[in-house]
């Protein structure tokens, strides 16, 4: 015959087994809100071992509002005949919110939270995954105190990193960014962490180096600071989108517009398109040799051909005069620099173009126009453009002159070193005469 205490003990074991082997996650909590036990399913869902989690306050795993709802529930509050379920988020080992659907059993001295992955959760994750692939848009979040980033699969794809290999931290993320854009990104992230967590989204466009192709890609990132749960950690939540193709298209349109403007000047001036192209290439070559940072070399290639745009404001009578100009006409002709500046100034992204238009006739010794500035007071882009323009003009045939040979051209330019031209640039031209010659020949006018 089984004694009462034996029956109690058997039931106790049965209950323990029921708790421990339940396929649903179960967390038992004291009335003070401390976790007293979790079962194997809960341990699996949250990624913690039982020994790690027992004794911890439940508030470490919940948002404030959810925590209050659980702790405020009184014994017997949930009538047995009704089926209560509600959805909430539990924070797993990696501070990621796991969406669960839960119910609760409350006794006098304990509560048991019973939960499972939210119904439809996996389905929604799959849908989200598919949408992210379609938009080439990933999501990420970054918790400050744990220095761990969570990346969605699409974010891994955008960066070209295998999710199985790297579990990215902040340093890994910074590594993926183009060295020239790192400062900008770090500054913006730090500012977000140090603000008073105002919920203002930040936007950034920057370059990354794709992990597999090692090629430069452009991304758009938008993120918002978030206080997260009562754990008090600060986190940033954001999206990232690969915009390389869109940017290339925009750039293409932008370049076409610049070319159209440049050709306006060519038509008025009887300058040839090849002259403009060569100037762009010479300037690009010089800037690369000078190891100018960022987009300088690419910008000057586009903007140098606009140097004479101000000639659209000079009358045909002067511009196309088949004779030597009078003193007064020469003065008018010189205003093409300030007219060009007025056309290009105060337009976004055209600062360099405006500087070149204004200063390409300044001379290193201060005898140029319109301002008579000297040396390095003349913007570098304009100094480069001046050498390139004269080199090309001398070597080209014009209605009023024959083409000079390469030797004659270099001799004239060398003679003007420190007078008309920046000596550093003249040296560079002479040292690289072969490269200049091949650019000149490869883009020579058909005529
Ligand atoms: Fe000019
Ligand atoms: Fe020119």
pLDDT recorded at residue 120: 67
The domain over range 247-442 is classified in CATH as 1.10.150.130 = no
pLDDT recorded at residue 196: 58
Three-state SS for 331? helix
- Average per-residue pLDDT for the chain: 85
The stretches of 21-140 forming alpha helices (DSSP H) are 40-46, 50-53, 64-72, 121-135
Ligand 1 centroid distance, CA of 360 (Å): 6
Ligand 2 centroid distance, CA of 3 (Å): 109
Q: How far apart are CA 119 and CA 99, in angstroms?
A: 9
Question: Phi first, then psi: what are they for 379, rounded to 5°?
Answer: -55, 140
Superfamily designation of domain 121-242: PAS domain (3.30.450.20)
Determine which of 112-121, 297-306, 332-341, 366-375 has the lowest per-residue pLDDT on average: 112-121
Ligand 2 centroid distance, CA of 272 (Å): 9
Ligand 2 centroid distance, CA of 101 (Å): 72
Q: What is the mean pLDDT of residues 320-342?
A: 93
Superfamily designation of domain 12-117: PAS domain (3.30.450.20)
For tokens 């290009």, the residue is 344
Would 12-117 and 121-242 be classified into the same CATH topology?
yes
Taking the CA of 394 as reference, the closest ligand is 2
Q: What is the mean pLDDT of residues 319-324?
A: 84
Ligand 2 centroid distance, CA of 386 (Å): 9
For tokens 């390095």, the residue is 376
CB 35 within 8 A of CB 57: yes
In the predicted structure, residue 285 carries a pLDDT above the cut 90: yes
Three-state SS for 49? coil
Q: What is the mean pLDDT of residues 17-43?
A: 90
pLDDT digits (tens, 9 = 90+) for 389-426: 999 999 998 777 889 999 999 999 999 999 999 999 99
Ligand 2 centroid distance, CA of 135 (Å): 45
pLDDT digits (tens, 9 = 90+) for 196-220: 555 677 889 999 999 999 999 999 9
pLDDT recorded at residue 393: 93
pLDDT digits (tens, 9 = 90+) for 172-189: 888 999 998 999 998 888
Give the confidence band of 98 by pLDDT, cuts at 50, 70, 90. confident
Q: In what order do the strands lie in the sheet with 235-242?
A: 148-151, 137-143, 235-242, 216-226, 202-209
Give the confidence band of 261 by pLDDT, cuts at 50, 70, 90. confident
Percent pLDDT > 70 in the chain is: 87
Q: In what order do the strands lie in the sheet with 35-38?
A: 35-38, 25-30, 110-117, 97-106, 86-91
pLDDT digits (tens, 9 = 90+) for 43-92: 888 878 888 889 988 888 887 777 777 777 655 555 555 556 778 888 87
Ligand 2 centroid distance, CA of 351 (Å): 19
Ligand 2 centroid distance, CA of 284 (Å): 16
pLDDT recorded at residue 345: 92
Q: How many CB atoms lie within 10 A of CB 349?
A: 11
Pick the more confident residue, 75 or 265.
265
pLDDT recorded at residue 263: 80
Ligand 2 centroid distance, CA of 248 (Å): 28
Ligand 1 centroid distance, CA of 212 (Å): 46
DSSP state of 31: T
Ligand 2 centroid distance, CA of 390 (Å): 7
Ligand 2 centroid distance, CA of 335 (Å): 15
Q: List the chain domain ranges.
A: 12-117, 121-242, 247-442
Taking the CA of 276 as reference, the closest ligand is 2
Ligand 1 centroid distance, CA of 266 (Å): 12
Residue 25 forms beta bridges with which residues?
Answer: 115
pLDDT recorded at residue 229: 46
Taking the CA of 262 as reference, the closest ligand is 2
CB 200 within 8 A of CB 99: no
């Amino acid at each position: 015959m089984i004694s009462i205490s034996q029956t109690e003990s058997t039931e106790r074991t049965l209950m323990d087994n029921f708790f421990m082997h339940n396929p649903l996650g179960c967390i038992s909590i004291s009335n003070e809100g401390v976790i007293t036990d979790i079962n194997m399913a809960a341990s699996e869902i949250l990624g913690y071992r039982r020994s790690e989690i027992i004794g911890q306050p439940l508030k470490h795993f919940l948002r404030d509002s959810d925590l209050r709802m659980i702790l405020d529930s009184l014994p017997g509050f949930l009538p047995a005949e009704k089926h209560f379920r509600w959805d909430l988020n539990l924070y797993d080992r990696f501070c990621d919110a796991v969406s669960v659907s839960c119910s609760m059993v409350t006794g006098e001295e304990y509560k048991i939270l019973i939960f499972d992955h939210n119904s439809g959760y996996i389905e929604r994750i799959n849908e989200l995954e598919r949408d992210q692939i379609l938009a080439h848009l990933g999501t990420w979040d970054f918790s400050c105190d744990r220095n761990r980033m969570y990346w969605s699969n699409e974010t891994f794809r955008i960066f070209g990193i295998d999710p199985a290999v790297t579990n990215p931290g902040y340093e890994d993320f910074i590594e993926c960014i183009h060295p020239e854009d790192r400062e900008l990104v770090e500054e913006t992230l730090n500012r977000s962490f140090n603000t008073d967590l105002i919920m203002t989204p930040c936007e950034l466009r920057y370059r990354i180096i794709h992990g597999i192709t090692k090629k430069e890609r452009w991304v758009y990132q938008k993120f918002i600071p978030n206080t997260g749960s009562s754990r008090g950690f600060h986190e940033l939540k954001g999206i990232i989108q690969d915009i390389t193709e869109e940017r290339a298209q925009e750039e293409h349109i932008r370049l076409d517009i610049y070319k159209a403007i440049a050709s306006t000047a060519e038509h008025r001036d009887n300058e040839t398109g090849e002259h403009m192209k060569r100037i762009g290439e010479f300037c690009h070559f010089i800037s690369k040799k000078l190891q100018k940072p960022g987009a300088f070399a690419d910008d000057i290639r586009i903007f140098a051909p606009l140097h004479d745009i101000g000639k659209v404001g000079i009358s045909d009578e002067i511009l196309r005069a088949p004779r030597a100009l009078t003193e007064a006409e020469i003065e008018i002709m010189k205003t093409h620099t300030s007219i060009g500046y007025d056309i290009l100034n105060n337009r976004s992204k055209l600062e360099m173009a405006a500087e070149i238009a204004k200063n390409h006739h300044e001379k290193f010794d201060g005898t140029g126009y319109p301002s008579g500035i000297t040396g390095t007071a003349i913007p570098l882009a304009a100094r480069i453009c001046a050498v390139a323009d004269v080199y090309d003009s001398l070597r080209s045939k014009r209605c009023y002159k024959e083409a000079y040979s390469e030797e004659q051209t270099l001799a004239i330019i060398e003679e003007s070193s420190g007078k008309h031209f920046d000596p550093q640039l003249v040296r560079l031209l002479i040292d690289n005469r072969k490269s200049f010659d091949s650019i000149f020949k490869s883009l020579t006018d058909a005529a």
